[in-house]
Copies of this chain bind each other. A is one copy, B any other.
């Protein structure tokens, strides 16, 4: 082991141990602070300069396999082209180089790899402002959300994956003496086990959360000994370019081959993810994105272990409220429906409400009244353009505008979407949420995902029907999140029981600063793998244990 690696182990072992403790208790834990106060104030301006300095230029780090052409057509949802170009790869050069890098990484062992991974995350942490601008102007997230979600929160999810990977690697010794008692001398064998990587791991990045959704797979594969090729979404390359460049920098410093982590950006429409996912060298695929491509990967990629986080029909069951919590609950729901223009795979879509109304203390609110109250809460939340854009961010993709137009013709519009002028970026595309009222009978409307700020207030015969509808639609179509609001223990119990079958993650009567669409690293699971919305979760042992294999030798001792 070289001195740098030994230093990194000494430096990061306490962090690793704390993370290992956190995944055992799954209580509150964070390593990377998500408050800007924890970072030097001048870093923001420097990062903005860095970001501006990258525009209109080629962002390159001399990666093995660059084929001499460049790609890149990123456009900020805030209304301008980034004009950053990236090296396009010759896979027949890149992938063999990555394969060749693996044996030394495997032989370094779990502790060294974990330390290097944590150093990469820590280095990324020092570049959180840099990441914030890269993420904001590719995902359309508001600056503060990009700072937190693409920065510290993503880093925490990466650390969580490192901890799970290390935990699985060390669930088992690397040597043992096996002694079988016998009549005379016992039989003694000396056994050795090596955790061998599966091969090259492919991370297919998404447009909305390239790092938060990319880091779990990236770091789970890397810590378990694999090389990782990152294929970013063509509209969100910069955050993963910063990630890969940083990882390579740390790998070189620690004495490893930088080709253990590589970027493979694609020309728009190239279909590089399919090509990569079917390469025989690729033995692991982590994907976040559309059900269509995720399902394709699950159905067609046979040589690799495939982990998918797709989308679903996140559902809220509304039954009854304590009167003193009603306003808080409405404000809370308004925020959940507005945050990042509901462009989160965890944003609620279906709100199930009994047609006889919901109880608020002794009062009964009809679906129409509840809809009006919720619309009012959203109007209040988003009434001021500056505050609205800080919550909404910008619309990441034009198809969301088309979908909003279609949704305006569905059912009865409870709340219409409106355009908001961004005070700083007048060309940004900003929209407020739309809510449409439909009936439980209109299942063709609400049993598919309307990605973006569109939700349905669905009248059901009763809360019992709501719970059945929730269970059945989620089992059939998937969901990452669900929520229930009820003052009745029986209703909450029934919603939980339905949840164990439907496989969503349920929030109960939340009114405070944690929202149904948020999941905290080290405690909340993101996805379950138990319904069509995802075949894996961030993170558990199943997410890491199949990324490597124990190989054995034994000899007389």
Contacts and interface: CB of A to CB of B under 8 A. Distances in A.
Interface of A: 23-28, 103, 106, 167-168, 171-173, 176-182, 187, 189, 191-194, 196, 198, 298-299, 302, 492, 496, 499-501, 503-514, 520, 523-525, 528-530, 537, 540-542, 545-546, 549-556
A332 to B, nearest CB: 11
Given A27-B177, A196-B503, A528 B549 contact: yes
Nearest to A172: B26
A212 B176 CA distance: 24
Given A24-B172, A513-B182, A554 B503 contact: no
A189 B26 CA distance: 12
A503 B176 contact: no
- Name the residue in A25, A27, A500, A504 with the highest tally of chain B Cβ atoms < 10 Å from its Cβ: A500
Given A302-B298, A302-B299, A530-B198, A24 B171 contact: yes
Contacts of A27: 176-179
Nearest to A189: B514
Contact of A530 (B501, B504, B549): B549
Contacts of A556: 508-512
A8 to B, nearest CB: 24
Contacts of A103: 500-501
Given A172-B24, A178-B520, A523-B176, A510 B167 contact: no
Contact of A523 (B28, B178, B525): B178
B549 A503 contact: yes
27 contacts: A23-B172, A25-B173, A25-B176, A27-B176, A27-B177, A28-B179, A167-B171, A176-B523, A178-B523, A180-B520, A196-B500, A198-B530, A500-B551, A506-B554, A507-B553, A507-B554, A508-B553, A508-B556, A509-B556, A510-B555, A528-B549, A528-B551, A530-B551, A537-B549, A540-B545, A542-B545, A542-B549
Contact of A187 (B167, B513, B529): B513
B28 A514 contact: no
A514 B187 contact: yes
A357 to B, nearest CB: 23
Nearest to A175: B26
Contacts of A171: 24, 167, 540-541
A546 B530 CA distance: 10
Nearest to A495: B553
Contact of A173 (B26, B499, B524, B525): B26
